[in-house]
Structure 1
Amino acid sequence: MGVRGLQGFVGSSCPHVCTAVNFKELAERHRSEHPGCTPTVVVDAMCCLRYWYTPDSWICGGQWREYFSSLREFVKTFTTAGIKLIFFFDGMVEQNKRDEWVKRRLKNNREIARIFHYVKSHKEQPGRNMFFIPSGLAIFTRFALKTLGQETLCSLQEADYEVASYGLQNHCLGILGEDTDYLIYNTCPYFSISELCLESLDTIMLCREKLCQSLGLSLCDLPLLACLLGNDIIPEGMFESFRYKCLSSYTSVRENFDKKGNIILAVADHISKVLHLHQGEKKLEEMLPLGPNRALFYKGVASYILPGQKSPWFFQKPKGVVTLNKQVVSMCTDPDSNQKLLIGTDSEFNLEAPMCTDPDSKQEVLICTDPESTQEASICTHPEIKQDPMDTEPEIKQQVTMVSDPEILKVARAHHVQAESYLVYNVLSSGEVECGNSLEDALDRTLPGQAQVYRPVRQRVYSLLLGGSQGDASTCPTVKEWFVYSGNPLRHPDLVRPLQMNIPGGTPSLKLLWLSTEPGIQVRRLDALLACFDLSSLKEELQALESPFQALCCLLIYLFVQVDALCLEDLHAFIAQALCLQEKSTAQLMDLQLDHVDPRAVQLGSLLVRGLTTLVLVNSACGFPWTAADFMPWNLFDGKLFHQKYLQSEKGHAVAVLVEQNRSRLTTFHTLKSIVCKACVKENRPVVSRRHWRAHHSGRWGRQGSSSHRTSSGHSRSGQGQHWRDQGPGSRQHEPDQWRRY
């Protein structure tokens, strides 16, 4: 994350950039300097997930009660000190950072493979040095913080830009995170989350002014330096030869510095002694070997320019104004090169969006923009575009989204920004979604990955969101999915076709689901939710259950119909852990000890938690028929507890033992098991014991003559005798209309 090599350089070569500070003292000083203003810290939440996840156990699917407690303690400590926290989460991956996103996901795959190798070899969880955050941690952290009464926001672009903008515009005490980009932005002070001692509120402040002094640069030079070194926008190799040229002519190479440290010093020296000489006389592309990369380079530099700021590396004069929905886009032009820098101010969210046009190639480059006004999709053009008739510049591209209804987009956008939904706005605005790595064993060919298991659910959601008033999947556009699963090289997105919905009474419109207050609308919303899982016929049975068991049963029925490789012992473990969890304290869960760690149980835990994140998507798409608490993991799932029940069930322990000899739990257990098993039988998918399979199928796990990955109608996904992994998700041989690879 951030600028290549800068973190190590600051730590080893410029330690004076790091200053020990105390948040309590800083807050007190802030109050005295700004009477009546609450000291506010903007938190880059994605940088903080590893810091927040303090439970010892992480491999079993997440210790969610413990995690919720650690978050509550974090919030309480700052609140007690009189400091307000604003949490920002990444809401989408920008196109120019997709390559970097893919690179990290593939790296994570290798790390996960090493984790499973360790578990198989040692039958225990690896050390913290191999720590991998539990699936769904970022998504559920949003809901946990909102439950704790915190202001939690989801970004409409790369979160670090919105964090830096918010901190600058609201005169915040500082930014708390772990990303060297915050050393580049000219914004409020930047504090390290990794160095934070929560008990005392001591941490390290990284001072960009001191960094500039060390490098002989000014603050406005830092974006230029960041791009020449390489960051998430500019590939590291783009200016590699230029950096070594700087190094070869750098006369102050210090032997006690490492190679990267000397390169940073050499590039900074080139900026201060060479580029500064001709600044204002020559265009930037004449002083740097930009070549065909000039547009991308301008984009990279401009991405650090916050609202109200200018860069001396761009020559600007006001040229025209374009009104785009609620955005006012002001245009600046270099009189010599006609290089354009457009700054778009979103009045509703107080963010700005710069754009650069490469003067030679005429290539337009959008910078850190609100995707509602700039996403490149291919379906509907938003009509609310006005252009100043006095403006003589080329017409700005119209907003292109997957749906044309501005009211629906506005509602989806608001839910997205307030961190109340998951992926819905991404589908509606750009038709592109992503999901990162899960703890899945690529070598276990019996269990499908979560991306494939829940894809039919997502396909029905896409139909609901994009099918118009009739929910007609045949006319829906495909959705680009960047989902990580075994065998997917992530070179291209999967183009996923929506699936037709079968909702009693027909498919309601989004306006009805999202905006209606008429009596009975909650019934329609629940019908839509169940239809996404193809469980409409089980509405009465599920409604008879108390929450959170409705959500649990919904997921278990879907999973056991969909995946043949799940057995009765698995079902027992899932149900028993959810029942026992209800009456266990956080301390009891922390004290649980496991005999050993089973790799299959690791993947099953991850699979269920990803099902809960899928419920977040479905619930928000259907107008929130269930309250979020009904499917939050701290109310339904504990990784260690599930693992314990799984191991007991595998050993053949009686159900009474699994529910810890509690008569009330035993009654509920049989009720839940009966509902799941009957539903599976209706789909010609009886749930039987693992021992039954071993006795009849020579150790092969999965049903004879059938894929272990099923459709919700009970038929094999990949055809008779074919294993589910034998054909990729883009296979058209057996299901030509389901999906295809891009």
Structure 2
Amino acid sequence: MGVKGLQTFMDSCCPEACVTVHLREMAKQHAVSQEAPTLVVDGMACLRHWYSCKDWISGGQWKEYMDTLKSWVEVFNLAGIRLVFFFDGVVEELKRQSWLKRRRRVNGDVCKIFSHIKSCGEQPVGEMCVLPSGLATFTRFALKSLGQEVFCSVREADFEISSYAREHNCMGILGQDTDFIIFDSAPYLSSSKLRMDTLTTVLYDRQRLCQALGLALYQLPLLACILGNDVVSEEQMKHVRMDAMAIYRQSDSIPYHGAQHGQMIFAVSQFVRSWSESPKDVLPPTLKLSPSDKELLERGIQSYFLSDQRKHQSSEIIDHPAAAVYQKYVSSTILQACREKHAAAEGFMVYSVVSEGVVECSNSLEDEEDTELLPQALVFKPCRQRIYGLLLLHNGTDVNPPAIKEWFVYPDNPLKEPELVPPVPLNLHGNPPALDLLWFGKGPEVSSLQLSCFLAILDCPDLSDLYGTIEEPIFITTCLVTYIVIQVQTLSQEDVDAYLSQALCLAQKSSQELQEIKLPFLCSRVVQLGCLYVRGLSYLLGANCACGCPLTTDTLMPWNSFDGRLFHSKYLLAHSGVEDVMLLDNDVSSLTVLHHLRAKVKEVCLKKGRMLQSRPRRHTSQFSLKTREEPQHRGRHTGGWGWRYQFEPRGGHHNADGWRGKGEVRRGQHHYDDDRARYGRGNFPSTSQHLDSQQHHSRGAPSNRRGRFNHKGKYHLAPRWSQPYAP
């Protein structure tokens, strides 16, 4: 967030401090003193700049996004500029309230988005935009796959970015946070005003800002805290600003007659200038404040002192008070490995669990009016609990293990306090495996144990026989879809077919072909299902890390198994009653694979007491649709619509009670089955009540052949499956 209103002030009231710069020229000048000019990039601030894909609503256009990232990096590489990326890895407790405030604000945007989809059947335009779920997480891995140096912060990211830039004499910090003006570090360059065609942007000059305000550089942290930032809220220092404004208006000097906020910054600057006596003092002794206000300001000012500016600063991160509670459950070797993987952006979720026992998840595109679909926080809660169990219960020494504090955003969660979620042991034969063995052991037995743990986290051990017979991204899709179907009782066979068919077709499509897919309208239910899948991939990433990485990280990336626009088209096709071959873009060779995977999902679900049935959703839309004939590419169906069809954008079949029918979520639930009883099976009508009067559409006959995918995604014969699988 940065300093409240400071950037607007500089743009409008202090233009001399906003300097347009050419990054190529800066790099050449900087190269005189350093061999490789380095630009430190605040990854979180650049996400909106990077995600320039037209479609964001259905879970993300991940192949297109990867192309964009690759092109972006190449421009800087050709200019001779080395890039170092930083991403937020933690939410510090000092900034928790600011984080929660932003999450609540985004909740309002999400409600407006779903209202727009249901009334217009199209993606909102303009400012009403929420980036795809998990974008920050997956972008870290995307950049690493492009050979870039990426870090994930173990404390406040702004602090680590500024410390790195100062320590390594970097040419600048590319971001969008006015805290970078306050830190005594490298020049702050605007990511929002970056032009890639000319490699120009705006440099916000802290020296010129101080000259305009009559301040010394060391006074900037105090100015920032009184104006309001992530540590000291705007409300907490309101009385100080009011006093400053009153003195400013009574002074003999000519007041600034511009906008109200501009006057406020000049007034506070004058106030700070009159207080300060020495740069050695954190707070001026002449400043008259209550003890609590002084303590708050001191914390805020200290947050701007970088590592080499602090007295007696330890090289180690200062642990949160709760850290010792969780760290005793893992060995020092595991803890160190967790921290190293986290800092190198090679892990997900694991470090926050074993270090402080706190996990958070930002907003997802979830329709609060759709009571049929569980929020992703509840869908994947059992999975997370087993991850916690694997990490903290492997020694089997504690009867009452500590609960993990979860800050998860979902409908009806007031976010006033964290939910206390206890670890749950894996359902494995024998004693829980030691993390040291899973993480550092070698050999086929360890590999087999790692995969068993991964599937146990998903509660799908029966899918182990698929491993090695199909490409890993398809294996991952099958695992994730099976888990989702077991947890969400209202998913139908058509929903499963949409998930599986889009994964099978994705490998054969370029990002350009995916962009050319035409949709007659958007369905709000598909939007939530797409986001649910992508969120699931992030939890599978966490499960893989906890198990010692039995699967390659690249396997779990969404660009290998998911595209939002493709999924949306497959969903509409599946629910319209087309034959299976049309779901597969007329690729007959993939029919056997689809039938086998479908049968496997149904088989595993049946063992869990979950009967997966056909339930096509065919209802009259509140807005009219036109027939669309789209060109065929290479003889394949590309998502065009060659028939007239009406569809309810809402999703239809809403249960009056749904997952929230029995009241509000209780904090500190001690087993996920309680949640399932409150929000899941206990409140849904039986599957047969949802069946359409028309029988499920005909399926293509399975081929009596056996096979597997090759590296290009094609299906070839292999002596693996002994019997053909009927749908």
TM over 0.5: same fold? yes
Q: How does 1:505-520 map to 2 (within 5 A)?
A: 505-520=430-445
The residue aligned with 1:550 is 475
Question: Deviations along 1:590-613, whole A, 9 cap, x unmatched?
Answer: 222211111000000000000000
The residue aligned with 1:25 is 25
The residue aligned with 1:427 is 353
Does residue 624 in structure 1 map to residue 622 in structure 2? no
Q: CA deviation at 1:538?
A: 2.6
Of 187, 198, 204, which aligns to 2:202?
Answer: 204
Contact 2:182/2:221 (CA < 8 Å) preserved in 1?
Answer: yes
Q: CA deviation at 1:726?
A: 5.9
Of 327, 331, 350, which aligns to 1:401?
Answer: 327
Contact 2:3/2:178 (CA < 8 Å) preserved in 1?
Answer: yes
Contact 2:40/2:85 (CA < 8 Å) preserved in 1?
Answer: yes
The residue aligned with 2:293 is 293
Rate the CA distance shift 1:281–1:425 in 2: closer, same or farther, 3 A. Answer: closer
Unaligned runs of 5+ in 2: 620-650, 679-727
Distance 1:374 1:281 in 2: 26
Q: CA deviation at 1:617?
A: 0.5
Distance 1:582 1:224 in 2: 54
3-state SS of 2:590 partner? helix
Distance 1:281 1:81 in 2: 43
3-state SS of 2:244 partner? helix
TM-score under structure 2 normalisation?
0.85
Contact 1:482/1:490 (CA < 8 Å) preserved in 2?
Answer: yes
Distance 1:281 1:72 in 2: 47
Does residue 82 in structure 1 map to residue 80 in structure 2? yes
Does residue 93 in structure 1 map to residue 91 in structure 2? yes
Q: CA deviation at 1:38?
A: 0.3
Q: How does 1:518-529 map to 2 (within 5 A)?
A: 518-529=443-454
Q: How does 1:29-108 map to 2 (within 5 A)?
A: 29-34=29-34, 37-108=35-106
Q: How does 1:342-381 map to 2 (within 5 A)?
A: 343-346=313-316, 370=317, 373-377=318-322, 379-380=324-325
Contact 2:40/2:165 (CA < 8 Å) preserved in 1?
Answer: yes
3-state SS of 1:132 partner? coil
Question: Deviations along 1:148-182, whole A, 9 cap, x unmatched?
Answer: 01011100011000000000000001100000000
Of 400, 415, 420, which aligns to 1:490?
Answer: 415
Equivalent residue letter for 1:634: W
3-state SS of 1:594 partner? coil
Q: CA deviation at 1:665?
A: 2.1
The residue aligned with 1:459 is 385
Equivalent residue letter for 2:55: S
Equivalent residue letter for 2:271: H
Q: How does 1:638-657 map to 2 (within 5 A)?
A: 638-657=563-582
Rate the CA distance shift 1:248–1:94 in 2: closer, same or farther, 3 A. Answer: same
Question: Deviations along 1:395-452, whole A, 9 cap, x unmatched?
Answer: xxxxx73535211110000110011111101000100110000000011101010000
Equivalent residue letter for 1:163: I
Equivalences, count: 644
Rate the CA distance shift 1:345–1:577 in 2: closer, same or farther, 3 A. Answer: same
Question: Deviations along 1:607-648, whole A, 9 cap, x unmatched?
Answer: 000000011110001100000111210010000110111112
Question: Deviations along 1:234-283, whole A, 9 cap, x unmatched?
Answer: 011111111111111114565642111111111111111x2135887996
Contact 1:457/1:533 (CA < 8 Å) preserved in 2?
Answer: yes
Distance 1:686 1:282 in 2: 66
Q: CA deviation at 1:729?
A: 6.2
Contact 1:680/1:687 (CA < 8 Å) preserved in 2?
Answer: yes
Contact 1:576/1:645 (CA < 8 Å) preserved in 2?
Answer: yes
Of 229, 240, 243, which aligns to 2:241?
Answer: 243
Equivalent residue letter for 2:287: M
Rate the CA distance shift 1:283–1:269 in 2: closer, same or farther, 3 A. Answer: closer
The residue aligned with 2:11 is 11
Question: Deviations along 1:22-69, whole A, 9 cap, x unmatched?
Answer: 1111111111233xx200000010000000001000101100001011
Question: Deviations along 1:306-330, whole A, 9 cap, x unmatched?
Answer: 13326xxxxxxxxxxxxxxxxxxx5
Equivalent residue letter for 2:47: L
Does residue 607 in structure 1 map to residue 532 in structure 2? yes
Contact 2:381/2:672 (CA < 8 Å) preserved in 1?
Answer: no
Distance 1:670 1:737 in 2: 33
Q: CA deviation at 1:544?
A: 2.9
Question: Deviations along 1:670-704, whole A, 9 cap, x unmatched?
Answer: 1211111111112221111224999xxxx984899
Q: For structure 1, which segment, 161-170 or 515-524, has the greater mean C-alpha deviation from structure 2 after superposition?
A: 515-524
The residue aligned with 2:136 is 138
Contact 2:329/2:392 (CA < 8 Å) preserved in 1?
Answer: yes
Rate the CA distance shift 1:278–1:625 in 2: closer, same or farther, 3 A. Answer: closer
Q: CA deviation at 1:543?
A: 4.2
Contact 2:17/2:206 (CA < 8 Å) preserved in 1?
Answer: yes
Equivalent residue letter for 2:452: D
The residue aligned with 1:573 is 498
Q: CA deviation at 1:537?
A: 2.8
Rate the CA distance shift 1:506–1:732 in 2: closer, same or farther, 3 A. Answer: closer
Distance 2:527 2:147 in 1: 32
The residue aligned with 1:416 is 342
Contact 1:401/1:430 (CA < 8 Å) preserved in 2?
Answer: yes
Contact 1:563/1:708 (CA < 8 Å) preserved in 2?
Answer: no
The residue aligned with 1:262 is 263
Q: How does 1:679-718 map to 2 (within 5 A)?
A: 679-691=604-616, 701=653
Distance 2:588 2:474 in 1: 17
Q: CA deviation at 1:572?
A: 1.2
Rate the CA distance shift 1:519–1:676 in 2: closer, same or farther, 3 A. Answer: closer
Distance 2:572 2:534 in 1: 19
Distance 1:344 1:378 in 2: 17
Distance 1:527 1:199 in 2: 50
Of 366, 372, 375, which aligns to 1:449?
Answer: 375
The residue aligned with 2:516 is 591
Q: CA deviation at 1:545?
A: 2.5
Distance 1:654 1:304 in 2: 62
Distance 2:106 2:22 in 1: 35
Rate the CA distance shift 1:461–1:213 in 2: closer, same or farther, 3 A. Answer: same
Unaligned runs of 5+ in 1: 311-329, 332-342, 347-369, 381-399, 710-721
Q: For structure 1, which segment, 246-255 or 79-88, has the greater mean C-alpha deviation from structure 2 after superposition?
A: 246-255
Contact 1:412/1:425 (CA < 8 Å) preserved in 2?
Answer: yes
Q: For structure 1, which segment, 451-460 or 514-523, has the greater mean C-alpha deviation from structure 2 after superposition?
A: 514-523
Rate the CA distance shift 1:158–1:280 in 2: closer, same or farther, 3 A. Answer: closer
3-state SS of 1:42 partner? strand
Distance 2:677 2:391 in 1: 17
The residue aligned with 2:123 is 125
Rate the CA distance shift 1:728–1:702 in 2: closer, same or farther, 3 A. Answer: farther
Contact 1:473/1:499 (CA < 8 Å) preserved in 2?
Answer: no
Distance 2:675 2:465 in 1: 32
Question: Deviations along 1:356-387, whole A, 9 cap, x unmatched?
Answer: xxxxxxxxxxxxxx2xx42121654xxxxxxx
Distance 2:329 2:146 in 1: 34
Equivalent residue letter for 1:618: A
Contact 1:92/1:157 (CA < 8 Å) preserved in 2?
Answer: yes
TM-score under structure 1 normalisation?
0.83
The residue aligned with 1:385 is none
Of 563, 578, 591, which aligns to 1:666?
Answer: 591
Does residue 154 in structure 1 map to residue 152 in structure 2? yes
Of 227, 230, 236, which aligns to 2:228?
Answer: 230
